[in-house]
Amino acid sequence: MKQDYENTNPKPLAPGHHPGPLPTDVREPGVWDDTPEAINRRKFLTQLSIALGGLTGVALVVPVAAFIVAPLFKETPIVWRAVGDLNKFKVGETVQVSFDDSSPVPWAGITAKTAAWLRRTGDSSFICFAVNCSHLGCPVTWLPGARLFMCPCHGGVYYEDGKVAAGPPPHSLFTYDTRVNNGQVEVRATGVPIPT
Ligand code: FES
């Protein structure tokens, strides 16, 4: 049919001149349909696709962005966590204790636990070091024989008072406040110290 149409219109077109819509009887549906209604329909569908694409993008991006940004605006609560009976700790001994972090979420499970190194320094005085290395946060180990804290990741070493002895750590081990309350040793839990 298209061939017949062309044969019946042999006149060459002037430059820039559009032949106009084909007669309905020779149109290939969906290809040649350039009536104003079809053009409007196509425009509408294009705009609808763009709008739906935009909405999908927003629906995907907003929750992810909120998840990343929300902690920056949320104040971490500070709470005291009991880590054991006072009599359980010997003066001068450094032991590992664990406690729930200050803002565990219901589904956190074991990941809500934070570890620390606790040393009794007197009748009711303690010092508590974060287990996280001040370099990149790896857990440090206490070596009682050498009286040093060692980090297995990049060889960071700390003296028994938490000060840096060697390696890449930029500063001393973070410490938590402690207190004795009703015969229980308590550690003031804060957010996990993030190395800076
Ligand atoms: S994380 Fe401890 S030395 Fe790098």
Q: Kindly report the CATH number assigned to the domain that includes residue 147.
A: 2.102.10.10
Whether the Cβ atoms of residue 186 and residue 80 lie closer than 8 Å to each other:
yes
195 within domain boundaries: no
Residue with tokens 């559009």: 18
| Token pair listed for 59 | 């629906």
Distance CA(158)–CA(182), nearest Å, equals 33
CA of 53 to the centre of ligand 1 (A): 45
Whether the Cβ atoms of residue 98 and residue 114 lie closer than 8 Å to each other:
yes
Q: How many structural domains does the chain have?
A: 2
Q: Is 139 in the pocket of ligand 1 (CB under 6 A)?
A: no
CA of 101 to the centre of ligand 1 (A): 22
Cβ neighbours of 146 (radius 10 Å): 12
Distance CA(130)–CA(138), nearest Å, equals 11
Q: So what's the pLDDT on residue 1?
A: 47
pLDDT along the chain (196 residues), means of 10: 52 60 57 78 91 91 80 72 95 94 72 90 95 94 97 97 96 95 92 59
CB within 8 Å of 170: residues ≥ 6 apart = 134, 135, 164, 195, 196
Q: So what's the pLDDT on residue 68?
A: 75
CA of 180 to the centre of ligand 1 (A): 32
Most informative mutation of 154, 172, 194 for ligand 1 (most atoms within 8 A of CB): 154
Give the position, in ligand 1's atom list, of the atom nearest the Cα of 136. 1
Q: Is 153 in the pocket of ligand 1 (CB under 6 A)?
A: yes
Q: So what's the pLDDT on residue 18?
A: 59
Domain that holds residue 131: 79-189
Distance CA(141)–CA(95), nearest Å, equals 10
pTM for this prediction: 0.61
- Both 98 and 157 in one domain: the answer is yes
Give the position, in ligand 1's atom list, of the atom nearest the Cα of 137. 1
Which of residues 72, 94, 114 is at a domain's end? 72
Q: So what's the pLDDT on residue 113?
A: 84
Most informative mutation of 149, 153, 158 for ligand 1 (most atoms within 8 A of CB): 153
- Both 131 and 150 in one domain: the answer is yes
Give the position, in ligand 1's atom list, of the atom nearest the Cα of 169. 3
Q: Is 185 in the pocket of ligand 1 (CB under 6 A)?
A: no
- Both 140 and 124 in one domain: the answer is yes
- Both 90 and 62 in one domain: the answer is no
196 within domain boundaries: no
Most informative mutation of 129, 135, 173 for ligand 1 (most atoms within 8 A of CB): 135
